[in-house]
A and B are shown apart, each in its own frame.
Chain A
Amino acid sequence: MICRRCRDWITERYDVDALRRLLRTKYVPSHRYEISYFTGGLTLFLFVVQFLTGMGLALYYVPHSEHAYKSIVDIMTKLRMGWFFRSLHHWGAQLAIASLFVHFFANLLLKAYRKPRELLWVTGFIMITVLVFFGLSGYFLIWDERAFTAIRVATGGAGSLPLIGAPVKIFLRGGIDVTQETLTRFYAFHVSVLPMISLVIIGLHVLLVQVHGMSVPLSQKNRQKEAQPFFPNVFYKDLIVWLLCAGVLVTLAVVFPAAIGTKADPMAPAPENIKPEWYFLFLFQTLKLFPGEIAGLNGEMIAVTVISLGVLFAFLMPFFDRRSSAGRPSPVFTYAAVFYLVYFVVMTVIGFLN
């Protein structure tokens, strides 16, 4: 009774049934690659986990070089369930990045970027950059030796970009060195700038998905099964995926709680066998391929330029791949997509084993 009156009250002020009708008319295509549709929803779910756990951690974290390390140790040892939520945040980040990479490669291989979905590709690509930067900035906040050295290398590497390198490096560091100013900046990026950008970009991305519907791969155009209603069929499948993911996440957090090394000391030598986070390993390995000097030019700058061009090409893929937009097969771009995937996987594995 109360419920009904509440519903009437709201309906008089907002046409809720319109949303319901929308939900009822939303159909999802069904074919042999339909599993790729769940990667986006999974990434979104992990983002929500990151937002929630991050808000909790922000209540206790102290963004100051003198206290940051100690505040993390306190979260892990003194606060009730602190270890759990920090571990969730740590593992949630790993899974979110993994899930976004799977989402990216699935859509690259299935050419989901075809006209009219170029803006979906563009917004998605921006989200990868944002997420990687989320990872980098979050990693630095713990202020241990490893994080300190990693950020020096990463911001120094950004300094090797042609033309914009020097100002980008200064902007990221907040000065010439990695110091307290850098910590303040990365904290601001991590808890304010990047979340805001994410909300806008994810909102646009999800909105565009509603406008265009799910992309059907060219090869499956004539082999589709009957489309399924989003609600409840696909929605419940989404829930199953999220539940499984939540199980994996909690297991990882409990069995392998997030670690912290020794407190950073700007004067101490870099720790032995330092490795970047796994999602940077393919870049790290690529850098290693280039010698210090090529034909009298700085090898690092050439390496960073080559990597940037590779990323730029992937970013502009929908605008180069005209054939698939016209509905014809474009094997060259399939090979390019396979090359990107194989390169990423092989370099990551090599970096991991080294």
Chain B
Amino acid sequence: MKLDYSLISRRAFLNTLFGGWLIAVLSGGIYAFLKFIFPTVGKEPDFVVLNRADFLDIPGNTVKTFAWGGKPGFFLKRTDGTMLALKGVCTHMECNISYMPDAKKFYCACHKGWFDDNGRNIEGPPPRPLESFDIITAGEKLVIAKKGVKVDLPKV
């Protein structure tokens, strides 16, 4: 059918059709693709449950490592018997740190950062103290929990 008068030409109609088609497909496709290539992110654990006997009985001035998600967590027993749990990852560039029993400090080898045995950043580039955790003992279990996280002990 040929119209004598039309608001738009055939060319304009086709351009709009294909242009719109392209935009629709691309935007939908790109959105879906972006959704696909950005991973669904897990999160760090709120708490981990360990065996009490493995940790409370370690000698003074030593550290025992536990798995905090995919990163190391440190359980420190000081010389006076007090205990501290913290994330063994430097707050500067996320390198794994180590405990230096002689100096009673934590040390990051990447950029020579130091933390005292409270996890406070005392020397080098680290901008913040180490992240420390709550230590909760429940029967045979030892629960290391993120600060401020309520742990439902009976369920543990």
Contacts and interface: CB of A to CB of B under 8 A. Distances in A.
A177 B65 contact: no
B95 A149 contact: yes
Interface stretch (A69-77, A218-226, A246-254, A265-273): A265-273
Closest 9 A/B residue pairs (Cβ): A269-B98, A292-B127, A270-B95, A177-B70, A156-B94, A267-B72, A153-B93, A270-B109, A272-B109
Given A266-B70, A292-B127, A175 B93 contact: no
Interface stretch (B10-18, B20-28, B36-44, B146-154): B36-44
A174 B39 contact: yes
Interface stretch (A45-53, A227-235, A293-301, A321-329): A293-301
A291 B98 CA distance: 23
A171 interface: yes
A270 B96 contact: yes
Interface centre among A181, A269, A272 (most CB of B within 10 A): A269
SS of A interface (majority): loop
Contacts of B69: 176-177
A335 to B, nearest CB: 31
Contact of B96 (A156, A181, A268, A288): A268
Interface centre among A178, A268, A292 (most CB of B within 10 A): A292
A300 B70 contact: no
Interface string B82-124: 0000001010111111100000000011110000000001000
Contact of B92 (A171, A175, A178, A292): A292
Given A269-B109, A300-B127, A176 B96 contact: no
Given A177-B71, A288-B111, 20 more contacts: A149-B95, A152-B95, A156-B94, A167-B38, A175-B41, A176-B44, A177-B70, A266-B70, A266-B71, A266-B72, A268-B72, A269-B72, A269-B88, A269-B95, A269-B97, A273-B109, A288-B125, A298-B127, A299-B127, A300-B92
A249 B32 CA distance: 44
A231 to B, nearest CB: 44
Interface centre among A171, A176, A288 (most CB of B within 10 A): A176
Interface in A151-191: 152-153, 156-157, 167, 170-171, 174-179, 181
Contacts of B38: 167, 170-171
Contact of A157 (B93, B98, B121): B93
17 contacts: A152-B95, A167-B38, A170-B41, A174-B39, A176-B44, A177-B70, A178-B70, A181-B39, A267-B67, A267-B96, A269-B98, A270-B90, A270-B96, A270-B97, A272-B109, A292-B121, A292-B127
A149 B121 CA distance: 20
Contacts of A175: 39, 41-42
B96 A170 contact: no
Given A269-B109, A272-B109, A300-B127, A171 B37 contact: yes
Interface in A261-292: 266-274, 288, 291-292
Interface of B: 37-39, 41-44, 65, 67, 69-72, 88, 90, 92-98, 108-111, 121, 125-127
A4 B92 CA distance: 69
Nearest to A268: B96
Given A176-B43, A267-B67, A293 B127 contact: yes
Contacts of B111: 288
A179 B41 CA distance: 12
Given A272-B109, A292-B126, A153 B67 contact: no
A179 B93 CA distance: 16
A277 B110 CA distance: 14
Contacts of A174: 39
Contacts of A268: 72, 96
Interface string A303-338: 000000000000000000000000000000000000
Contacts of A156: 93-94
Nearest to A155: B94
Contacts of B88: 269
A292 B110 CA distance: 15
Given A299-B127, A300-B127, A176 B110 contact: no
A350 B10 CA distance: 68
Contacts of A272: 109
